[in-house]
């Protein structure tokens, strides 16, 4: 028999799910019966989500569309299902020699593989529709061979696509009908703007640069072309992309509750919630589609861990241990700002063994964070990156340490907690990072680490509709027994003096100083972390001020006992080297910033 709490939880989950799923069926949306049956029986999708119910008929109608909906609401099917539906209707049937009919552009390799895998399942009954992918890091000649044979629906990262468009003469795309930009804003943030313009030019799908829409009858714009843009966060960059790539689009998913300015555009707007449905015409250009307030899954618990710099590492390790003790099966993702920081924390967490008794012999020490650990960042070898991502995906209980390379679009089953150990910068990145949990009505929690000097960032997030509760760090620290005894939690004690904190910090420092490789990783991570901290942009510079950092405390947060001046000197040396390299290579400001961020 179910307990009352379980029943309540069940009811709540039903409520959440009813806000996500629509009350119609896939066939009501106009999709082919075979495809609907396949979605239900093979993929387990009983009914469409609300955004699917809203957007699929619009995509089938052939209009250009801009889709905005919360993370994890099923946007991938919004474009893949109508494309498969329309392609399977072609008479005579399409053939491989016809080349590519649909192109899906995504910002990262992991997302490329993920969309490809969903597409593979979706075309299962339509064997004449060939799915394929091309992306950075893969073997070019093998990709050329696959393109020569013909790929009907192609998933691609922008750089590699442009490469093939320029250099692979056997890549047939004359019949291209759809261009989809998934995570459109991220593609542009990663500096692919110029590549996208070139791609649109080569494919003859770019509208004129004056910002006014070209008549679809003009020579460059193919009347049959249908372009789609999707993201959970829209901004001025998407606005620019929309202006150059969409023709008289319909916008689906903008919620009335958001503080968005109504777009001054010829865009038709359809509200996300069915009861809210509204279609309205606006004036001339796409103008301002920036959304200030973001939508979050209602079941997502969002908290903030306020902790001073020197205690960050101990707090992180303790929270991880507490989460894993609370639920034996836990999938946790920790976001860090740089590749070096990922490598250091990965090695530390994988190897650090501990006993509450500091004098205990090595063989009596146990792993402090007892679960499988994975890492993911842009500087890893392509194959390692693949193995790591697939490994974390398939585990029931595991920890992933990563940069923002994992922030977008990734649909990893059963992730219960997102920890933002380093803050995300732009609020839109916060949205995507936390969006890796609480997907499609599942439970999830998100913890954001902030130092006391950074708390203004919470106000910045509040402007975007994010409200954070304080995480009970003291209570968690009190809950750990030292030498078999729990801390007397009736007595308030400053975290800096907390016996658990002191003991753990000392053990971590001893462990790192005894492992030369780890110590080197810690120093590198320290240096790149400080550099990344200086790379915050715009108003965020006033919150994340490097001047306010105590470098000694930063060193402590990497378990370094060295005096800050020593580590600081190596930081200065690296900084000089970086400036010298920059002078030699002269990358654009944007690229320099990205390399500092090092995702």
> Is residue 150 a contact residue for ligand ATP (CB under 6 A)?
no
Size of the site for ligand ATP (CB under 6 A): 17
Nearer to ligand ATP, 181 or 526 (CB): 181
Instruction: Work out how close the CB of 323 gets to ligand ATP at its nearest, in angstroms, rounded to a whole number.
Output: 22
Piece of 45-53, 331-339, 531-539, 540-548 that binds ligand ATP (CB under 6 A): 45-53
Instruction: Work out how close the CB of 464 gets to ligand ATP at its nearest, in angstroms, rounded to a whole number.
Output: 16
Among residues 395, 411, 460, 562, which is the contact residue for ligand ATP, using CB under 6 A?
411
Give CB contacts under 8 A, 24+ apart, made by 30-38: 30/56, 30/57, 30/60, 30/85, 31/56, 31/60, 31/81, 31/82, 31/85, 32/85, 32/88, 32/89, 34/88, 34/125, 34/126, 35/81, 35/84, 35/85, 35/88, 35/122, 35/125, 38/122, 38/124, 38/125
Instruction: Work out how close the CB of 69 gets to ligand ATP at its nearest, in angstroms, rounded to a whole number.
Output: 6
Angle between helices 312-326 and 339-351 (to 10 degrees): 60
Nearer to ligand ATP, 70 or 307 (CB): 70
Among residues 129, 151, 232, 398, which is the contact residue for ligand ATP, using CB under 6 A?
232
Piece of 71-79, 248-256, 327-335, 578-586 that binds ligand ATP (CB under 6 A): 71-79
Nearer to ligand ATP, 52 or 330 (CB): 52
CA distances from 488 to 286, 322, 476 (A): 61, 18, 13
Instruction: Work out how close the CB of 506 gets to ligand ATP at its nearest, in angstroms, rounded to a whole number.
Output: 41
Nearer to ligand ATP, 188 or 501 (CB): 188
In sign, the C-alpha dihedral spanning 263, 264, 269, 273 is positive
> Is residue 77 a contact residue for ligand ATP (CB under 6 A)?
yes
Instruction: Work out how close the CB of 74 gets to ligand ATP at its nearest, in angstroms, rounded to a whole number.
Output: 3
> Is residue 340 a contact residue for ligand ATP (CB under 6 A)?
no
Among residues 68, 71, 157, 528, which is the contact residue for ligand ATP, using CB under 6 A?
71
Helix (H, G, I), strand (E, B) or coil at 470: strand
Nearer to ligand ATP, 440 or 594 (CB): 440
Helix (H, G, I), strand (E, B) or coil at 180: strand
Give the whole-angstrom CA distance, residue 489 versus residue 190.
47
Nearest residue to 240 (alpha-carbon basis) of 274, 281, 192, 172: 192
Q: Do the bridges between strand 469-470 and strand 300-306 make them parallel or antiparallel, or are there none, so unpaired?
A: parallel
Give the whole-angstrom CA distance, residue 52 versus residue 65.
13
Nearer to ligand ATP, 411 or 509 (CB): 411
Give the whole-angstrom CA distance, residue 527 versus residue 525.
5
Are 560 and 510 a contacting pair, CB within 8 Å?
A: no
Nearer to ligand ATP, 227 or 233 (CB): 233
> Is residue 597 a contact residue for ligand ATP (CB under 6 A)?
no
> Is residue 75 a contact residue for ligand ATP (CB under 6 A)?
yes
Residues 424-443 that bind ligand ATP (CB under 6 A): 435, 439-440
> Is residue 76 a contact residue for ligand ATP (CB under 6 A)?
yes
Piece of 47-55, 325-333, 497-505, 590-598 that binds ligand ATP (CB under 6 A): 47-55
Instruction: Work out how close the CB of 228 gets to ligand ATP at its nearest, in angstroms, rounded to a whole number.
Output: 13
Piece of 74-82, 131-139, 295-303, 328-336 that binds ligand ATP (CB under 6 A): 74-82
Residues 196-215 that bind ligand ATP (CB under 6 A): none
Residues 49-68 that bind ligand ATP (CB under 6 A): 49, 52
Residues 440-469 that bind ligand ATP (CB under 6 A): 440
Nearer to ligand ATP, 57 or 552 (CB): 57
Instruction: Work out how close the CB of 134 gets to ligand ATP at its nearest, in angstroms, rounded to a whole number.
Output: 20
> Is residue 45 a contact residue for ligand ATP (CB under 6 A)?
yes
> Is residue 253 a contact residue for ligand ATP (CB under 6 A)?
no
Give the whole-angstrom CA distance, residue 80 versus residue 104.
9
> Is residue 318 a contact residue for ligand ATP (CB under 6 A)?
no
User: Tokens representing 312?
Assistant: 């960050």
CA dihedral 494, 496, 501, 504 (to 10 degrees): -170
Instruction: Work out how close the CB of 119 gets to ligand ATP at its nearest, in angstroms, rounded to a whole number.
Output: 12
> Is residue 74 a contact residue for ligand ATP (CB under 6 A)?
yes
Are 401 and 377 a contacting pair, CB within 8 Å?
A: no
Are 334 and 401 a contacting pair, CB within 8 Å?
A: yes
Are 392 and 400 a contacting pair, CB within 8 Å?
A: yes
> Is residue 186 a contact residue for ligand ATP (CB under 6 A)?
no
The H or E element that residue 599 is part of is none
Among residues 16, 32, 36, 48, which is the contact residue for ligand ATP, using CB under 6 A?
48
Instruction: Work out how close the CB of 475 gets to ligand ATP at its nearest, in angstroms, rounded to a whole number.
Output: 32
Q: What are phi and psi of 165, to 5 degrees?
A: -60, -35
Give the whole-angstrom CA distance, residue 169 versus residue 178.
20
Instruction: Work out how close the CB of 584 gets to ligand ATP at its nearest, in angstroms, rounded to a whole number.
Output: 38
Nearer to ligand ATP, 185 or 247 (CB): 185
Helix (H, G, I), strand (E, B) or coil at 383: helix
> Is residue 321 a contact residue for ligand ATP (CB under 6 A)?
no
Instruction: Work out how close the CB of 461 gets to ligand ATP at its nearest, in angstroms, rounded to a whole number.
Output: 18
Helix (H, G, I), strand (E, B) or coil at 57: helix
Nearer to ligand ATP, 158 or 435 (CB): 435
Residue with tokens 């001046």: 565
Instruction: Work out how close the CB of 49 gets to ligand ATP at its nearest, in angstroms, rounded to a whole number.
Output: 5
Give the whole-angstrom CA distance, residue 501 versus residue 359.
17
Nearest residue to 198 (alpha-carbon basis) of 222, 162, 245: 162
> Is residue 409 a contact residue for ligand ATP (CB under 6 A)?
yes
Nearest residue to 442 (alpha-carbon basis) of 273, 301, 240: 301
Nearer to ligand ATP, 252 or 522 (CB): 252
Give the whole-angstrom CA distance, residue 187 versus residue 203.
18
Give the whole-angstrom CA distance, residue 102 versus residue 69.
22
Per CB under 6 A, residues contacting ligand ATP are 45, 48-49, 52, 71-77, 232, 409, 411, 435, 439-440
């Amino acid at each position: 028999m179910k307990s009352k709490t379980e029943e309540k939880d069940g009811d709540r989950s039903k409520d959440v799910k009813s806000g996500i799923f629509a009350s119609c069926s896939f066939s009501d949306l106009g999709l082919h019966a075979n495809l609907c049956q396949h979605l239900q029986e093979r993929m387990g999708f009983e009914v469409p989500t609300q955004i699917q119910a809203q957007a699929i008929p619009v995509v089938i109608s052939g209009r250009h569309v801009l889709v905005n909906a919360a993370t994890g609401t099923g946007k991938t099917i919004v474009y893949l299902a109508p494309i498969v539906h329309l392609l399977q209707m072609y008479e005579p049937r399409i053939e491989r020699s016809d080349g590519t009919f649909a192109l899906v552009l995504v910002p990262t390799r992991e997302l490329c593989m993920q969309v490809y895998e969903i597409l593979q399942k979706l075309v299962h009954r339509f064997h004449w529709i060939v799915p394929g992918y091309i992306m950075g890091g893969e073997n070019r000649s093998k990709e050329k061979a696959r393109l020569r044979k013909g790929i009907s629906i192609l998933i691609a990262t922008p750089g590699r696509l442009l490469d093939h468009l320029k250099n692979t003469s056997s890549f047939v795309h004359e019949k291209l009908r759809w261009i989809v930009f998934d995570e459109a804003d991220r593609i542009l943030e990663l500096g692919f703007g110029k590549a996208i313009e070139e791609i649109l030019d080569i494919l003859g799908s770019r509208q004129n640069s004056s910002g006014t829409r070209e008549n679809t009858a003009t020579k460059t714009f193919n009347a049959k072309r249908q372009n789609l843009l999707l993201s959970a966060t829209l901004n001025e960059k998407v606005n620019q992309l929309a202006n150059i790539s969409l023709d008289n689009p319909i916008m689906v998913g903008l919620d009335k509750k958001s503080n968005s300015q109504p777009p001054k555009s010829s865009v038709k707007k359809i509200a996300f919630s069915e009861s809210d449905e509204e279609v309205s015409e606006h004036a001339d250009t796409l103008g301002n589609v920036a959304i200030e307030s973001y939508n979050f899954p209602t079941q997502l618990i969002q908290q903030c861990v306020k902790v001073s710099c020197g205690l960050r590492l101990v707090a992180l390790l303790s929270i991880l241990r507490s989460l894993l003790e609370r639920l034996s099966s836990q999938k946790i993702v920790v976001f860090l700002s740089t590749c070096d920081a990922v490598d250091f924390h990965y090695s530390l967490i994988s190897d650090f063994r501990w006993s509450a008794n500091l004098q205990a012999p090595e063989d009596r020490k146990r792993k402090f964070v007892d679960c499988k650990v994975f890492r993911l960042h842009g500087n890893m070898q392509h194959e390692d990156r693949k193995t790591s991502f697939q490994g974390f995906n398939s585990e029931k209980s595991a920890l992933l340490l990563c940069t923002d390379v994992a922030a977008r679009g990734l649909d990893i089953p059963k992730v219960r907690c997102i920890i933002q150990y380093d803050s995300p910068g732009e609020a839109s990145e916060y949205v995507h990072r936390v969006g890796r949990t609480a997907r499609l009505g599942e439970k999830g929690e998100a913890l954001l680490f902030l130092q006391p000097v950074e708390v203004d960032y919470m106000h910045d997030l509040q402007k975007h509709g994010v409200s954070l509760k304080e995480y009970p760090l003291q209570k968690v620290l009190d809950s750990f027994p030292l030498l078999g005894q729990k801390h007397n939690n009736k007595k308030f004690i400053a975290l800096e003096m907390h016996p658990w904190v002191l003991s753990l910090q000392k053990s971590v420092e001893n462990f790192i100083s005894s492992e030369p490789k780890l110590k080197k990783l810690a120093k590198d991570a320290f240096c790149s972390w400080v550099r990344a901290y200086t790379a915050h942009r715009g108003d965020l510079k006033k919150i994340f001020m490097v001047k306010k950092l105590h470098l000694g405390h930063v060193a402590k947060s990497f378990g370094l006992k060295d005096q800050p001046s020593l580590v600081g000197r190596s930081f200065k040396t690296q900084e000089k080297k970086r400036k010298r390299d920059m002078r030699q290579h002269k990358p654009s400001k944007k690229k320099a910033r990205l390399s500092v961020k090092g995702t």
